[in-house]
């Protein structure tokens, strides 16, 4: 179903993510939760890259699961501004959801509904202050990728957003763990 390089890259990123989480002082359960988040983002990135569609079962269904996991292990969020377990993922979802929903309604944008739902999930996974870094890094990666593609091909083509924003989210969570 998926190409071998994409699957290998996803597995390597999950292993690196888990190793960095353990190295940052997370316990095995928290590292496992964060690895499952990484696996989900990798799956969404691969699906969007190959099919140009993000199914709702991979974006909307995990959001309540993230809230349950944040209740069971509230220390998975880095740089949390509050001690209340549900505020960090809720605020992150609201911020990223509002930003992407407003962009969705701008004329002539090629932002799809799956991208808006992915933004909600990214905000929920990364939490409130880290969600800004996730969006910034994802946008920076996307712009760099688009610029290189247009420069090398001399034609304009749109790449899917999910791979760039998934990578940006994984990098931002790893960077937040190191602070």
The string of pLDDT tens digits covering residues 2-57 is 677 778 888 888 888 888 888 888 889 888 888 889 899 988 988 888 888 888 88
Which pTM value belongs to this model?
A: 0.87
At 168, is the pLDDT very low, low, confident or very high (cuts 50, 70, 90)? very high
Query: So what's the pLDDT on residue 155?
Result: 62
Query: So what's the pLDDT on residue 54?
Result: 87
Which helix (H) or strand (E) segment holds residue 79: the answer is none
The string of pLDDT tens digits covering residues 109-155 is 778 888 889 999 999 998 888 999 999 999 999 989 888 877 777 66
Query: So what's the pLDDT on residue 141?
Result: 92
Query: So what's the pLDDT on residue 122?
Result: 92
Residue 81 above 80 pLDDT?
no
Count how many Cα atoms sit within 13 Å of the Cα of residue 19 in the half-sphere of its side chain. Answer: 6
Both tokens of 87, joined, read 């505020």
What is the phi-psi region of residue 108: left when phi exceeds 0, alpha when psi lies from -120 to 50, beta otherwise? Answer: left
Q: Residue 26 is part of which domain span?
A: 4-178
What's the structural domain count of the chain?
1
Q: Give the total residue count for the chain.
A: 179
What is the phi-psi region of residue 160: left when phi exceeds 0, alpha when psi lies from -120 to 50, beta otherwise? Answer: beta
């Amino acid at each position: 179903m998926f190409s071998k390089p994409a699957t290998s890259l996803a597995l390597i990123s999950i292993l690196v993510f888990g190793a960095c989480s353990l190295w940052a002082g997370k316990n095995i359960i928290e590292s496992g939760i964060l690895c499952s988040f990484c696996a989900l983002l990798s799956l969404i990135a691969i699906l969007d890259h190959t099919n140009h569609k993000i199914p709702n079962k991979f974006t909307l269904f995990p959001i309540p699961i993230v809230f349950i996991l944040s209740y069971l292990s509230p220390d998975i969020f880095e740089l949390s501004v509050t001690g209340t377990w549900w505020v960090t993922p809720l605020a992150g979802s609201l911020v990223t959801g509002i930003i992407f929903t407003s962009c969705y309604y701008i004329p002539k944008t090629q932002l799809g509904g799956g991208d808006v739902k992915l933004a909600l999930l990214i905000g929920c996974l990364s939490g409130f202050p880290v969600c800004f870094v996730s969006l910034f890094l994802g946008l920076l990666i996307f712009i760099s990728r688009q610029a290189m593609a247009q420069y090398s091909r001399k034609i304009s083509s749109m790449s899917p957003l999910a791979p760039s924003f998934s990578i940006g989210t994984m990098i931002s969570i790893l960077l937040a763990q190191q602070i």
